[in-house]
C-alpha cells in the first residue's frame, strides 16, 4: 500500500498542480493570490530528496486584472527537446508561459475568450510516448476549448526513439533512467546509434 508524504507546505492555498510529463521531480503549481510574483511556482525535488519551490511568474503582468489562477498544465513535448511551456487558467482567460534564454515570459493565449477557465488537462495516449500534444481547457459558461498540435518539434536529419521500463504494480511516475536509440538519416539510409541517456 502506497503512503502519502507532504511535498510542500507552500504557505498559501494551492489551486492547481501539473506534473512535468517526463521528469517526475518537477511539478508546476498555481496558488491563490491577486498579485505576482508568487502565484505560479515550479516545485523541484533535489538530489537529497527535499523539494524546493521557485517563482516563475515574475514577468506575469497581464493587461487584464487577473484576480484568480485556477489551473495549470505543462505542455507535452518530445523528450530531449528543450521546449518548456506551461498554460495557466484564470478568471480572465488562459495564459501561456515559456522559458527562454532570458527567463520566463507570459502572454495571453490566442483564441481563448476572457472567461473563467475552470480546469486544464493534457490528453495523453494510453500507449507510453504516443503523445497527442493536445491541451484542453474547460470554461464557465463558454464550453471546452482545445489546443491541438498536429506535429511535434522536428530535428533535421535526426529521429529519437526512447524506451523506459516500469515495474508492474508500482505507484507513481516511471523511473528516470531511459534508453535512447538515435537514428541519423543520410541519403535515405538510416544509421542507428545506441546509448544510455538520463532525462
Query: Which pLDDT belongs to residue 157?
Result: 43
Point out which residues pair with 158 in neighbouring strands. Answer: 155, 184
SS3 90: strand
Is 92 in contact with 64 (CB distance < 8 Å)? yes
Nearest to 17 by CA among 100, 107, 88, 66: 88
Q: Across the 199 residues of the chain, what is the mean pLDDT of every consecutive 10-residue run?
A: 81 89 85 90 88 92 91 76 84 92 90 90 65 82 80 42 51 50 47 45
pTM of the model: 0.69
> What pLDDT does 78 receive?
59
In the prediction, which pLDDT does 197 show?
46
**Whose CA is closest to 32, among 71, 59, 64, 3?**
71
Question: What is the per-residue pLDDT for 72?
Answer: 95
pLDDT of amino acid 151: 44
Exposure of 28 in the CB half-sphere (CA atoms within 13 A): 26
Amino acid at each position: 500500500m502506497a503512503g502519502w508524504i507532504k511535498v510542500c507546505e507552500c504557505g498559501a492555498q494551492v489551486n492547481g498542480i501539473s506534473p512535468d510529463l517526463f521528469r517526475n521531480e518537477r511539478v508546476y503549481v498555481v496558488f491563490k493570490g491577486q498579485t505576482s510574483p508568487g502565484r505560479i511556482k515550479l516545485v523541484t525535488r533535489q538530489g537529497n530528496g527535499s523539494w524546493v519551490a521557485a517563482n516563475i511568474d515574475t514577468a506575469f503582468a497581464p493587461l487584464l486584472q487577473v484576480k484568480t489562477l485556477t489551473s495549470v498544465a505543462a505542455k507535452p513535448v518530445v523528450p530531449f527537446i528543450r521546449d518548456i511551456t506551461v498554460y495557466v487558467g484564470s478568471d480572465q482567460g488562459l495564459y501561456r508561459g515559456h522559458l527562454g534564454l532570458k527567463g520566463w515570459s507570459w502572454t495571453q493565449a490566442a483564441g481563448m475568450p476572457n472567461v473563467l477557465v475552470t480546469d486544464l488537462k493534457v490528453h495523453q495516449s494510453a500507449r507510453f510516448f504516443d503523445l497527442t500534444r493536445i491541451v484542453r481547457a474547460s470554461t464557465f459558461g463558454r464550453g471546452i476549448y482545445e489546443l491541438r498540435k498536429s506535429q511535434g518539434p522536428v530535428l533535421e536529419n535526426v529521429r529519437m526513439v526512447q524506451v523506459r521500463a516500469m515495474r508492474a504494480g508500482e505507484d507513481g511516475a516511471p523511473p528516470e533512467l531511459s534508453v535512447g536509440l538515435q537514428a541519423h538519416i543520410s541519403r535515405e539510409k538510416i544509421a542507428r546509434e545506441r546509448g544510455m541517456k538520463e532525462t
